[in-house]
Amino acid sequence: MDSASQLLLLHPTSVILPYGHSFENFTLNLYDMLSIKTTALQPVSAPHGSMAPILIPLMIVVSIIVYYCQEWMEFNVDKVPLGPTSLPFIGNVLQLKSKALHLSLTDMAAKFGNVFSMKLGRQRVVVLNDAQTVKTAYNGPNFTNRPSVFSIEFFVSKGFMACQKKHDFRIHTKLMKHAFQAVTYTSLGDKLVEEAMDLINQFDSYNGDAFNPREDLNLVSLNILHNIAFGKRYQKGDTELHEIFDYSSRIMKGVSPVHPVNLIPWLQRYPNPWMKDLSDARDKRDNMLLRFYEEHKETYVEGEIRDMVDALIKVEQDAEEAGDMETLRLLSPLHIITNIWTIFFAGTDTIHNALLWVLLYMAVFPEVQRKVQEEIDRVIGDRTPCLEDEQTLPYLCATFYETLRFSCLSLLGVPHAAVCDTTLNGYHIPAGTQVLANFWAINHDETTWDNPSEFRPERFLNDNGQLRNMKDFPHFMPFSTGRRACLGKNIGKSGIIVLSACLLQKLNIAVPTGEGAKQPTLEPEVHFDLVPKQYDIVVTRRDSMRS
Ligand code: HEM
């Protein structure tokens, strides 16, 4: 989620971090807020004989007592999931290691149980730490909402992401699935190969010197998603690409839960620089995407679906012919571009992040890379890889799954919210409470995985080297589960597998060697997702190695 979230993604006043939003920034911002509040509370020299010197400390003490009585009631009377004692204003933020959020949450689960709660700022958030509980919650009807956050709704109010009405959400989902299917059956494979070939040429240009692949992979993932969504791809330096980067990064900052407009609600109603910046970014995005939409309308040819915009124009025309006003209501140009942009935003960062992990693991685990290449040579040979090859490359598929499990790039998924007052594992969860799944704990659970701290694609294969049935891994859900599970799962999987096949057919990836070479670490950086720390690799042509 979230570019979105990091998807975008997307989340609230309080406390959901958007995809890609650094957790470190989040905690720092809370400290800043706190220092502002404490400064604001400094008594300004009280007049002689005033009661202020006694009253203010007394009020503070009473507030603190009331705060802890409320917390005691929540745990012992309301029976919300147990959790660590919090501090007023900042909640449990100080107990979370910003550099190892996944470990902090897992430690808390060991202490308070697989369903625990904590406070982020003033909001109580419930964290689910085992596969069965996540399935119970996410596969049922009571946790299908997303938390409500002003700035997220500001950007996606016309789309499925912020939709809280069951009926409308169902229509949105049907439309989105339609858009995805249309793209999967058109030229997805060709688009992936085109990106892979450009990337190989780009890597060639480094002539075997060490380099950081982050920017190149960013462009590749943006191009894949933009091409699927709007039928356009870019070269480094294109003006339109800069505009996209510009408004996307402003939107990313804007959807942060600690953005001033989320923290101080009256800012949402009066003109101020923060609201102006949000409006400006939204206008730039909408103007560009509405232009793309109009261009598509003018050049649309019945029966030829070039991308998601065409797919939804077709549904729109079909609905017009059938007089289906119910569907048309959610197919205005603004609905169409908002939904497609959300998918673009959600997919770009996750693909980027997944590719970064794949390249890192290939460099650090050369034996795995060798096995992947041996399979590609045997099955594909010199032919250009295509979408259908996914079925015949079990070792590469297993490596993809192991990459998702081991890196746990989607650490907490996208936050859910309770639709109504409900219960989970005997605990009371009030309506609107945010719920997070700790996928790191699930992917590294020693009771379900054999030696989870080892990177071993073979765990997904049977004795004949074929992919095991995914039913053997009911605890593995890298794309989450239930009605809000990842919509781009197939594109994500095919995208990474086809790109990896193209790259590893032609290239060897290694860690830099020699004096002063920077060695990569497998430790992640905690954004909302888990992202590899900056690293360098060395890439050489396989054919040049053979000759
Ligand atoms: C390896 C790549 C990917 C992984 C690991 C991944 C994982 C996830 C996860 C864990 C969620 C949260 C689901 C939940 O809230 O329960 C999610 C949501 C989502 N993902 Fe992905 N994702 C990937 C790629 C993509 C791509 C390529 C796209 C778009 C083409 C995409 C679009 C979305 C959307 C739109 C949502 C929000 C769905 C909703 O709110 O109903 N994802 N993804």
Residue 365 maps to which CATH number? 1.10.630.10
The rounded Å distance from CA 20 to ligand 1 centre is: 13
pLDDT by residue, tens only, the chain of 547 residues = 433 333 333 333 233 333 333 333 333 333 333 333 333 334 445 455 577 788 899 999 999 999 999 999 999 999 999 999 999 988 998 999 888 899 999 999 999 999 999 998 888 999 999 999 999 999 999 999 999 889 999 999 999 988 988 899 999 999 998 899 888 766 899 999 999 999 999 999 999 999 999 999 999 999 999 999 999 999 999 999 999 999 999 998 888 767 889 878 899 999 999 999 999 999 999 999 999 999 999 999 998 999 999 999 999 999 999 999 999 999 999 999 999 999 999 999 999 999 999 999 999 999 999 999 999 999 999 999 999 999 999 999 999 999 999 999 999 999 999 999 999 999 999 999 999 999 999 999 999 999 999 999 999 999 999 999 999 999 999 999 999 999 999 999 999 999 999 999 999 999 999 888 889 999 999 887 899 999 999 999 997 544 3
Is the Cβ–Cβ distance between 303 and 310 less than 8 Å? no
CA-nearest residue, atom 20 of ligand 1 = 486
**Which residue among 479, 481, 498 is best mutated to probe the pocket of ligand 1, counting the most ligand atoms within 8 A of its Cβ?**
479
Is residue 413 in contact with ligand 1, taking CB distance under 6 Å? yes
- Burial of 390-410, coded b for 16+ CB within 10 Å and e otherwise, reads beebbbbbbbbbbbbbbbbbb
Using the atom order of ligand 1, give the atom closest to the CA of residue 484.
Answer: 41
**Residue type, position 258, single letter:** V
Q: Could you list the residue range(s) of the whole structural domain that residue 518 is in? A: 84-541
With respect to residue 341, please indicate whether it lies within any of the assigned structural domains. Answer: yes
In a domain, 462, yes or no: yes
d(CA 497, CA 399): 9
Q: Does residue 350 have its Cβ closer than 6 Å to ligand 1?
A: yes
Q: Where are the alpha helices (DSSP H) in 238-332?
A: 239-254, 260-263, 273-299, 308-322, 325-328
How many other C-beta atoms can be found within 10 angstroms of the C-beta atom of residue 35?
A: 10
The protein residue with its alpha carbon nearest to ligand 1, atom 32, reads 488
If you ran DSSP here, which 8-state letter would residue 537 be given? B
**Would you say residue 21 lies in a domain?**
no
Judge whether 499 lies within some domain.
yes
In a domain, 109, yes or no: yes
Q: How many domains does the chain have?
A: 1
Contact 261, 151 (CB under 8 A): yes
Q: Which atom number of ligand 1 is nearest to the Cα of residue 342? A: 35
Q: What is the pLDDT of residue 32?
A: 38
205 burial (CB, 10 Å; 0-12 / 13-18 / 19+) is exposed
Does any ligand 1 atom lie closer than 6 A to the CB of residue 162? Answer: no
Residue nearest (by alpha carbon) to ligand 1 atom 2: 492
Give the pLDDT of residue 405.
Answer: 98
- Per-residue CA distances from 440 to 98, 128, 404 (Å): 15, 11, 10
State whether the beta carbon of 485 lies less than 6 angstroms from ligand 1.
yes
Residue 422 lies in a domain: yes
Whether 245 is covered by a domain: the verdict is yes
Distance 484 CA to ligand 1 centre (A): 9
**Atom number in ligand 1 closest to CA 173:** 41
- The helix or strand, by DSSP H or E, that contains position 417, with its residue range, turns out to be strand 416-417
Report the residue among 412, 486, 494 best suited for mutation to probe ligand 1: largest number of ligand atoms under 8 A from its CB.
Answer: 486
pLDDT at 19: 36
In a domain, 73, yes or no: no
What is the CB neighbour count within 10 angstroms for residue 365? 18
Q: What is the DSSP letter of 467?
A: B
Task: Pick the atom of ligand 1 nearest to 481's CA.
Answer: 16
State whether the beta carbon of 346 lies less than 6 angstroms from ligand 1.
Answer: yes
CB 342 within 8 A of CB 255: no
What is the pLDDT, as a whole number, of residue 148?
87
Q: What is the ipTM of this complex?
A: 0.99
pLDDT at 22: 38
d(CA 455, CA 369): 12
3-class SS of residue 127 = strand
412 CA from centroid of ligand 1 (Å): 11
Q: Is the peptide bond before 6 cis (omega within 30 degrees of 0)?
A: yes
Q: Is 536 exposed, middle or buried (0-12, 13-18, 19+ CB in 10 A)?
A: middle
Nearest atom in ligand 1 to 146's CA: 40
